[in-house]
Amino acid sequence: MTNQTVLTFLTLPVELVYRILDHQSDMTIICSMRNTLTTLYVGGKQIGSVEAQHLANALQYNTILTTLHLLNNEIGDIGVQHLAHALQHNTTLTTLILGVNEVGVLGAQHLAHALQYNTTLTTLELSVNSIGDVGAKSLSDALQHNTTLTALNLEANSIGDVGARYLADALQHNTTLAMLGLTDTSVGDVGTQYLADALEHNTALTTLELIKNEITYVGAQHLAHALQYNTTLTTLELSVNSIGDVGAKSLSDALQHNTTLIILHLRYNEIGDVGAQYLCDALQSNMTVTNLSLDGNQIGSDAMDQINKFVQRNESINQ
């Protein structure tokens, strides 16, 4: 038997390797590197749906890649469909970033279908897309079956209170999702009520982001009620809303009973010295809050000094 020589980039002369690579697109090179990269960042390249398909084809066979970052690439629903199909076969990817990619309802449906079969993806980032409440429903349905995903970011997707209701229903059954990002999703007070009701029963979520959601003291009251029963939420992000002094009082009352919440962000919430005093009173007995952010409110320096003193005390206790 004659000896056969297997030629690879490792055995070819370097000049020839350079000539080959000069005639390949960046995406072709990336897709050919099936088992070398663990993290791939292809952000802002506008690769579109066709190149996304090539990437998805490679993903079906790749056994090394764990993080795929595709922010701002005009992938669209068709490109996402290819990636979602790959997720049904891939067994190593844990993080998929698809923010700013013109993903709509159909794209969300494809991803939701994949989540019912995929058993390795833990983080899905879909910020600044257009999945709406219908897309939120699809993902919510998937969350009732998926037992792997721990972080879902839907920032700036306009899911509204209807979409929030779907997600709240999922939270009543899901036991693995730890982080839910709903910044700038127009959930309002009504959507917040649905989420708050779910928090009374959910035992997995540790971080809830509700920045810039037109939440008033009414929504704050619902969240405060939930905090009296919830024993797992450690971070509540409510910045850029309008809870005011009344909302601050509701949350303060809850803090006197809750022993789990560690981080509470209330920046730009129209809170004055009255609301600050409520928070200060709560912190006299609350020993767990170690990060309370109140920038952008109308709180005097004396009140802030008092609040910071209690927060620093808690930091020392919990070190």
Residues 21-40: what's their mean pLDDT?
61
> pLDDT for 33-68, tens place per residue?
555 678 999 889 899 999 999 999 989 888 899 999
Least confident of 60-64, 134-138, 164-168, 231-235: 60-64
Helix (H) or strand (E) holding 311: helix 301-317
At 37 the pLDDT is: 76
3-state helix, strand, coil in the chain (%, to 5): 45, 10, 45
Which of the four pLDDT bands, split at 50, 70 and 90, describes residue 23?
low
Q: What is the mean pLDDT of the chain?
A: 91
Do the Cβ atoms of 227 and 233 come closer than 8 Å?
Answer: yes
Q: Would you state the pLDDT for residue 61? A: 86
Contact 78, 50 (CB under 8 A): no
Single pTM value for the model: 0.90
Q: Does residue 221 register a pLDDT over 60?
A: yes
C-alpha 107/C-alpha 105 separation (Å) is 5
Topology of domain 28-317, per CATH?
A: 3.80.10
Q: How confident is the model at residue 2 (pLDDT cuts 50, 70, 90)?
A: very low
pLDDT digits (tens, 9 = 90+) for 246-286: 999 999 999 999 999 999 999 999 999 999 999 999 999 99
pLDDT tens digits along 173-195: 999 999 999 999 999 999 999 99
